Amino acid sequence: MSIDTEIARRRTFGIISHPDAGKTTLTEKLLLFGGAIQEAGAVKSNKVKKGATSDFMAIERQRGISVATSVLAFEYKGIKINILDTPGHKDFAEDTFRTLTAVDSVIVVIDVAKGVEEQTEKLVAVCRMRSIPIIVFVNKLDREGKDAFDLLDEIEQKLKLRVTPLSFPIGMGYGFKGIYNLWEQNVNLFSPDHKQHVTATVEVKDLNAPLLEATVGDAAAHTLREELDLVAGVYPEFDTEAYLRGELQPVFFGSALTNFGVRELLDCFVSIAPKPRAKQSETRLVAPEEAKFTGFVFKIHANMDPNHRNRLAFIKVVSGTFRRNVPYLHVRLGKRMKFSSPNAFFAEKKQIVEVSYPGDIVGIQDTGSFKIGDSLSEGEAISYKGIPSFSPEHFRYINNADPLKSKQLYKGIDQLMDEGVAQLFTLNLNNRKVIGTVGALQYEVIQYRLAHEYGAKCSYETLNVYKACWVDPEDEKSAEFMDFKRVKQRYLARDKQGQLVFLADSSFTLQLTQQKYPSIQFHLSSEYR
Ligand code: G4P
């Protein structure tokens, strides 16, 4: 197969949701359709089970499992599908943000009873920022939940999306009869007792024909007609191009657990979801079809075994082909490196692969050469934009608790930050180090890993910071900026890339500072240029 054909048949995407909405269940059902697994329950969830929130070892163990489920690849109707796993636990939200830099599209799962939840809002905001094409899957229709129209309104308002349903539920919960598929124009009947749940697929091209009554009964047919009239009147017609531009989001309804509505979702997905897309580097737009290989590291996974301190770096192939044992340029280090055992991922297995194409993810054993955001190429000094850092939610000073082990401590901190476990800020005033995390849990993880993997001890000290804001002055030499740096000296720090960050201690301070220094912008993400 030519490289163009290989590119055209790849779909690399992520499933995002608030924990418990059904991401793992849906992933598993997709794999079943692809024949990649034979039975339900085969995919180990990497989510942190309820009640395990204070047990960080359990979480780390589960993160260990997630190496296997980091990329789940399977074939469906000749299409190679790569699902990039995103951790559900909110304390690992940074991992998810970074994974979103490697996907070409996403499916958002929403629980029909709970509606749009907090984690989903945050993740979708990132997708919107990058114009990532989104398909919405409303899950758990076999249970009582919110009215479909109310839910569509909620999705539009809270997620700021422009939606159009491509399937519509007929009833819900106990009264759930099935789904009208607007995409394929047929009715799928649901039977809670039937093993496959879909009892029949009836093609209903003419909604006014008595076939609809015969299929779903008089009352349901009447309601469905009214509802579909409303859908046609209120929602825009589906347009693939608008979806691909990130301007229109199709919505499907179903029940992952009972395997209902999943095939419809998958069939539509393979026909509309984007193939690997061109990616903007610092200097130019790189097309997947280009002959020369380029790629970037979006995730680093530590080995939990302290005797094998190697890590797995996940590289997304952006252009050309990645080949085993061919020397590539590690752009940041300016060094050629070749890889004798790159891994590709198939369902829950990984295996050594000779060649990978754009859209694919390659796992490389790493002993500390890679950082998140690093690029590889055949010689060009390419650097991919957009592995952003977001302001952490928690901040603590980190202190060395064993003066004899300071070298180990700093090496450990350095490497853990390269993996993206947390963010490090160094205060301008006194060079004290501050660790910023998304969740409080990471502090325990860091302490544990520093002790077990690096033989170093640390302690923390609280620090009252509300948000870290990346500072973006209109003019670095202006009197206003000089004044800001002088007055706010105590609150200024550098991130790991050396960018200036203002650690605001409250939203009030941030507001006041913004008013006082109008020519300086304060960003909650490092990606603002
Ligand atoms: P997550 O990865 O998004 O966190 O969610 P996951 O798939 O683990 O699903 C969370 C819970 O919701 C699970 O139940 C799962 O069985 C259930 N679920 C998923 N899809 C559906 C659906 O379509 N209908 C219904 N009724 N339930 C669904 P659990 O009891 O928390 O876990 P488990 O013991 O079943 O694994």
DSSP class of residue 474 equals S
Q: How far is the CA of 111 from the centre of ligand 1 (A)?
A: 10
> How high is the pLDDT of residue 65?
45
CA 290 to CA 278: how far, in whole Å? 10
Domain ranges of the chain: 3-272, 279-377, 394-523
In the reported structure, the alpha carbon of residue 140 is separated from the centroid of ligand 1 by a whole-number distance in angstroms of: 9
What is the per-residue DSSP string for 86-120? ---SGGGHHHHHHHTTS-SEEEEEEETTTBS-HHH
Q: Nearest to residue 346, comparing CAs of 45, 124, 63, 35?
A: 35
- pLDDT, residue 89, reads 64
- Ligand 1, from 17, 20, 107: best to mutate by most atoms within 8 Å of Cβ? 20
Between CA 291 and CA 322 the distance in angstroms is 11
**Per-residue pLDDT at 213:** 87
Specify the CATH superfamily of domain 394-523. Peptide chain release factor 3, domain III (3.30.70.3280)
Cα separation, 206 vs 215, in Å, equals: 13
- CATH for 279-377 is 3.40.50.300
pLDDT score for 198: 58
Domains 279-377 and 394-523 agree in fold: no
Q: What is the pTM of this model?
A: 0.83
CA of 30 to the centre of ligand 1 (A): 15
Angle formed by the axes of helices 406-419 and 441-454, to 10°? Answer: 130
CA of residue 417 to ligand 1 center, whole Å: 33
Cβ(215) – ligand 1 distance below 6 Å: no
Tell whether ligand 1 has an atom less than 6 A from the beta carbon of residue 29.
Answer: no
What residues in the chain have per-residue pLDDT under 70?
Answer: 36-69, 88-92, 192-200, 303-309, 347-348, 385-387, 527-529
**What pLDDT shows up at residue 379?**
93
CA of 89 to the centre of ligand 1 (A): 15
CATH number 3.40.50.300 is the correct assignment for the domain at 3-272: yes
